[in-house]
Structure 1
Amino acid sequence: MAAGRNWTLRQRTIGLTLVVAVILGALAVVAAITAAESREGLRTLLDRTGPMRVAGQTLQSALLDQETAVRGFVLTGDDEDLEPYRKGQQNEERLIGEISGLLGDSAEDQAVRQQLEAVKAGSGQWRATIAEPVITAVRAGDRGRAQEIIDQGSRQRFDVLRADVTKLQDDILTVRNVFAAQTQTNSNLLIFLLVLAAAVIVLAGAALLILLERFVIKPVTDLAAEVRLVAAGDYRHEISGSGSPELAALAADVDGMRRKIADDLAEVIAARAAIEATNRRLEEQHEELTRSNRDLEQFAYVASHDLQEPLRKVASFCQLLQRRYGGKLDERADQYIYFAVDGAQRMQRLINDLLAFSRIGRITSGFTDVDLNKVMEEVSGQLDAAREYADGEIVYGDLPTIRGEEALLTNLLANLVNNALKFRKPDVPPRVEIKSRQAGDQWEISCEDNGIGIEAEFADKVFVIFQRLHAKDAYPGTGIGLAIAKKIVEYHGGRIWIDSDYSGGTAIRFTLPVIASEAAELPSDQGTPQLQEETA
């Protein structure tokens, strides 16, 4: 008994479940056996006893047809009157065979089989002693002899045969009643088993509720009350547990945590001073990092600017070589010159993009109110040739007005839309949609397309400068567009990310602050109400 009181809640639940499962399993086995027997009894009623009763009644009609045909033949002497006799005999043989084929091995079936043999023997004896002699006498022209045979014993013998057929039908009815009673008994047993199973489930549910109330709900409620006392500041209050061993162990763990908190509380005050000192050092490091970033941007600008002139000369002379000597040298020389021109032009694009990247936030014209709808009109005009070449469409809606630098915001949206047109699916016209919604004090701007998409594992990598997910031969560009977009968004006080839940292509979303005067007027989560469309 003591061991039973130390059972865990899991052990008690498993024990109750096993007991219920065993009982229900046993009931299910008995129900399955009973259902099988009931199904077999019903099949016997439908497929055996029913057809046997019909065959027995038809057999009696076949015998009557034979007896009537013989009497008629005595009166007329016409062979056509014997046709019912012959057909009745054929039907008799067929029906006796059908009944015999439907019989089983039970005692009741054996009784039917014996009676069927008696009918068969009686029928044969009647034909041998009455019917056939009468037919022979009539055909010999001796109707008096035929009538005499009939008068001497035909009716008595046929009444005996009819009684045998009636007894056969009674025996068949007995078989039917036996299986009907068995089927009824099995049906009643199935109902009883279902009621018993329902009672077991109800009792198991009641036992489970009692188990939960005693070992879970009340102990948890008591433990929560004690925890609230500690949470209110009484760290000296000891927490005791009750209920199942799991909850007692949980209460001990919570009390251990209480003691640990009480011990650590004294250390928190000392740690606070250390944290404040650490924060001061972090602020100093932040300022140093800001200065370092500023110096790096200046270095990148100067280095890129100083590289422009010599690179321009290299590109110009390579292009001059290509124009003047293209096709005059061998094929490999033309290929080398092409590589040199392509590399110089690519380096120029990289330097120009690097200069643009370094200028963001450093060379500024000041923030103004910028209508993003007008910005998108300009972007659509800039990319009109690319859109027409791809047979695509650019869709944008009622976009907000925000505080920012118009040139940078134009560059931002142009980069996003250009990427959407560039990274399109083969043989699928690109569709780019720019829309917005307000989320608190931020506008969330989305650029969604139906292109090739970006895997979730590369969602952060694409914003790193000069990072590319594809070979430069597959898609042109320097790999700095999204890095520039990220820097522009962060310069305006927002953030940018790839929506990995979007499955139609690529969805790039970024936030921009709401103008202070509009933040209190516009409702939150205001979506794009209308769409304008630019199509080829």
Structure 2
Amino acid sequence: MTVFDARRWSLRQRIAALCVVVGVVLGVLGVFAVLTGANTNRHLDDVLDRVGPMRAAGETLNTALVDQETGVRGYAITGGMDNLRPYQKGLAEETEQLARIERLLRPGDEEIRTALVDVRSRAVTWRAEVAEPVIQAAGSGNLEKARQLVEQADTRDFDQLRASVERMQGHIQTLRTESATAARDSSSTMVAIQIAAAAIIVLAGALLLFLLDRLVSRPIVELANQVREVAAGDYDRHIASPNGSPDLVALSADIDRMRQQIASELAEVRTARGQVEWVNQQLQSQAEELTRSNRDLEQFAYVASHDLQEPLRKVASFCQLLQRRYAGQLDDRADQYIAFAVDGAQRMQRLINDLLAFSRIGRLTSGFTEVDLAKVLGEVRSQLEQRAGESAEITWSEMPTVEGEEPLLTTLFVNLIGNSLKFRRPDVPPVVRITAEREAGEWRVNVRDNGIGIEAEFADKVFVIFQRLHARDAYEGTGIGLAIVKKIVEYHGGRIWLDVDVPEGASIWFTLPVLPGTESLESTGELVGNER
């Protein structure tokens, strides 16, 4: 490939080459136009500033010579000085006009210069042979002699003088005609240059339009038609390179590569979509199976809890009856066995009740309403009043109003605060602090105490059902309380976690969605509940 291989030139290179050629041609024409204009101006200046004044000076010179002759004749007849003034004035005018013509002459005006010399010579001769003798005779008072000299003078001398002036005027007129013709020729050349420049510009514009149509417009239309077919869904349609500039050929190749890539990715997407649909079907089947299993499991737990209630009541009732009726009548070992049976039956009842409560969360619902958490905490305080005793301190800050089921939220705080009261440190009055803060679109509620705390390694385990961290004889309970709390929080669209960075006690955080239209709390840190 060489720079002169125009077929491989890009559209920009072709337009640039066209502009350069047109610019060079117009530049050359511009130079000619400048030179022609200067020549025209020179000839016009020559006609107006030199030839015209020179011709006018010749006319004035001719008039001055006639005035001299008239003055001489009048002076010879009358002898009055008034008649001599035309001669004197004509002589001065002659001198001035001859000098003016001589100043306007240029080196090339040889014919005019020769004629001017002849005029000056003949004028001097006429004055010497005719005018001066007549003036001298009339001035001495000899008018008769003066008249005789005038009558004897050969008029051919003066006629030849005037003829010489006419010849000079003819040469001046010829010069004027030549200058005017040259000026007209220059003007015609200027017009021709302008027409040529306009024609070149028109041709360049037409050529540019032709190039744009052939190298850009038509190939773009052809390329656009092919792209539309691909956009309509025919991704296997090959995009052929149009007959245009190398730029468009490269563009069409790039578009075809993009089409191939899109077709390849689309095939992969279709394959992946088929796989996703298959996986979705499997997941849907598994979800339906899981839903059915959960429903069956909840139904089983509910039914089992109800079915176990009656026999457990009977066992507990008869064991308590034996304990009351035969207490002290049997040996100590028998009393111990009966106490074990009563305790086991009661624990089984509590376990079944907690399991029944767990299974009811989210299954038996009364619908969400606006719940004031401050009011809920007041009710919880009343429920736990006996368990808290006189030494416990339960406080909370300004609490928000949320959307939820009030019974479930009450159960949530009963379990959290109840755990704080249960897992207290020996000989240390329990302190429970409840706070709330807003973060983005949720309320973050914290329940913190000064109890024995929870190790970080059990941060997730404590929320699993039936998980206990302590022996049954150390702390009573079924191990389902925090599992119920977690299920209630998740049922309300929140999340719950254990804060393991507190120096003492336990700190549990959970979130609840912000009620739409609820502003931030008006005040924080103000205790609205306090129990000791």
TM-score (norm 1): 0.50
1:7-50 CA distances to partner (integer Å, 9 max, x unpaired)? 22222212222222222221121121111111111111111111
Q: Map of 1:358-437 to 2, 5 A cutoff?
A: 362=519
* Cα distance change of structure 1 residues 4 and 293 upon mapping to structure 2, 3 Å threshold: closer
* Cα distance change of structure 1 residues 131 and 254 upon mapping to structure 2, 3 Å threshold: same
- In the other structure, the counterpart of 1:262 is 263
* Cα distance change of structure 1 residues 179 and 216 upon mapping to structure 2, 3 Å threshold: same
Asked whether 1:112 is paired with 2:102, we answer no
For 2:440, what is the secondary structure of its paired residue?
helix
Alignment match of 1:19 (pick from 18, 21, 27): 21
1:42-87 CA distances to partner (integer Å, 9 max, x unpaired)? 1111111111111111111111111100110111111222111111
Q: Map of 1:228-267 to 2, 5 A cutoff?
A: 228-242=228-242, 243-266=244-267
User: Which AA in structure 1 matches 2:84?
Assistant: L
Distance in 2 (alpha carbons) for counterparts of 1:225 and 1:176? 71
- In the other structure, the counterpart of 1:160 is 160
For structure 1, the 5+ residue unaligned runs are 278-289, 300-359, 366-536
- How far the C-alpha of 1:293 sits from its partner, in A, is 3.3
- How far the C-alpha of 1:210 sits from its partner, in A, is 2.0
Distance in 2 (alpha carbons) for counterparts of 1:26 and 1:115? 43
- In the other structure, the counterpart of 2:132 is 132
User: Which AA in structure 1 matches 2:253?
Assistant: A
Distance in 2 (alpha carbons) for counterparts of 1:118 and 1:294? 120
Asked whether 1:226 is paired with 2:383, we answer no
Alignment match of 1:99 (pick from 93, 98, 101): 101
- In the other structure, the counterpart of 2:194 is 194
User: Which AA in structure 2 matches 1:249?
Assistant: A
Distance in 1 (alpha carbons) for counterparts of 2:154 and 2:266? 121
User: Which AA in structure 2 matches 1:74?
Assistant: A
- How far the C-alpha of 1:297 sits from its partner, in A, is 11
Asked whether 1:72 is paired with 2:219, we answer no
Q: Map of 1:305-316 to 2, 5 A cutoff?
A: none
Asked whether 1:90 is paired with 2:92, we answer yes
- In the other structure, the counterpart of 1:206 is 206
Q: Map of 1:491-502 to 2, 5 A cutoff?
A: none
- How far the C-alpha of 1:164 sits from its partner, in A, is 0.8
User: Which AA in structure 2 matches 1:78?
Assistant: G
Distance in 1 (alpha carbons) for counterparts of 2:80 and 2:195? 70
For structure 2, the 5+ residue unaligned runs are 281-436, 447-516, 523-532
Q: Map of 1:501-516 to 2, 5 A cutoff?
A: none
Distance in 1 (alpha carbons) for counterparts of 2:150 and 2:158? 11
- How far the C-alpha of 1:198 sits from its partner, in A, is 2.2
1:173-213 CA distances to partner (integer Å, 9 max, x unpaired)? 01100101111111221222222222222222222222122
Distance in 2 (alpha carbons) for counterparts of 1:43 and 1:178? 13
Distance in 2 (alpha carbons) for counterparts of 1:361 and 1:94? 113
- How far the C-alpha of 1:229 sits from its partner, in A, is 1.1
1:334-353 CA distances to partner (integer Å, 9 max, x unpaired)? xxxxxxxxxxxxxxxxxxxx
Tell me if structure 1 keeps the 8 A contact 2:72–2:131. yes
Tell me if structure 1 keeps the 8 A contact 2:438–2:520. no
Distance in 1 (alpha carbons) for counterparts of 2:129 and 2:22? 72
Instruction: Let me know the Cα RMSD of the aligned residues.
Output: 3.0
- In the other structure, the counterpart of 2:313 is none
Distance in 2 (alpha carbons) for counterparts of 1:224 and 1:41? 61
* Cα distance change of structure 1 residues 258 and 86 upon mapping to structure 2, 3 Å threshold: same
For 1:52, what is the secondary structure of its paired residue?
helix
- How far the C-alpha of 1:143 sits from its partner, in A, is 2.5
- In the other structure, the counterpart of 1:58 is 60
Tell me if structure 1 keeps the 8 A contact 2:438–2:444. no
User: Which AA in structure 2 matches 1:85?
Assistant: Y
Q: Which entry has the higher C-alpha Rg, 1 or 2? A: 2
Distance in 1 (alpha carbons) for counterparts of 2:126 and 2:445? 131
Distance in 2 (alpha carbons) for counterparts of 1:364 and 1:101? 110
For 1:362, what is the secondary structure of its paired residue?
coil
Asked whether 1:292 is paired with 2:431, we answer no
For 2:153, what is the secondary structure of its paired residue?
helix
Distance in 2 (alpha carbons) for counterparts of 1:197 and 1:255? 44
Distance in 2 (alpha carbons) for counterparts of 1:364 and 1:64? 125
TM-score (norm 2): 0.50
User: Which AA in structure 1 matches 2:19?
Assistant: T
User: Which AA in structure 1 matches 2:163?
Assistant: A
Tell me if structure 1 keeps the 8 A contact 2:61–2:94. yes
Distance in 2 (alpha carbons) for counterparts of 1:43 and 1:154? 42
- In the other structure, the counterpart of 1:343 is none
For 2:439, what is the secondary structure of its paired residue?
helix
- In the other structure, the counterpart of 2:451 is none
User: Which AA in structure 2 matches 1:47?
Assistant: D
Distance in 2 (alpha carbons) for counterparts of 1:123 and 1:237? 105
Distance in 1 (alpha carbons) for counterparts of 2:146 and 2:111? 37
1:137-160 CA distances to partner (integer Å, 9 max, x unpaired)? 112232333223222334221111
Asked whether 1:45 is paired with 2:47, we answer yes
For 1:250, what is the secondary structure of its paired residue?
helix
For 2:141, what is the secondary structure of its paired residue?
coil
1:314-333 CA distances to partner (integer Å, 9 max, x unpaired)? xxxxxxxxxxxxxxxxxxxx
- In the other structure, the counterpart of 1:418 is none
- The worse-fitting range, judged by mean Cα deviation, of 24-33 and 164-173 is 24-33
- How far the C-alpha of 1:260 sits from its partner, in A, is 1.8
Distance in 1 (alpha carbons) for counterparts of 2:93 and 2:201? 58
* Cα distance change of structure 1 residues 296 and 84 upon mapping to structure 2, 3 Å threshold: farther
- How far the C-alpha of 1:266 sits from its partner, in A, is 4.6
Distance in 2 (alpha carbons) for counterparts of 1:164 and 1:83? 25
Distance in 2 (alpha carbons) for counterparts of 1:126 and 1:9? 84
Distance in 2 (alpha carbons) for counterparts of 1:296 and 1:35? 90
- How far the C-alpha of 1:231 sits from its partner, in A, is 0.6
Aligned length: 289
- How far the C-alpha of 1:134 sits from its partner, in A, is 1.0
* Cα distance change of structure 1 residues 159 and 245 upon mapping to structure 2, 3 Å threshold: same
Distance in 2 (alpha carbons) for counterparts of 1:220 and 1:294? 53
* Cα distance change of structure 1 residues 297 and 43 upon mapping to structure 2, 3 Å threshold: farther
Distance in 2 (alpha carbons) for counterparts of 1:220 and 1:105? 68
* Cα distance change of structure 1 residues 240 and 74 upon mapping to structure 2, 3 Å threshold: same
1:396-433 CA distances to partner (integer Å, 9 max, x unpaired)? xxxxxxxxxxxxxxxxxxxxxxxxxxxxxxxxxxxxxx
The alignment-based identity, stated in percent, is 43
Tell me if structure 1 keeps the 8 A contact 2:76–2:150. no
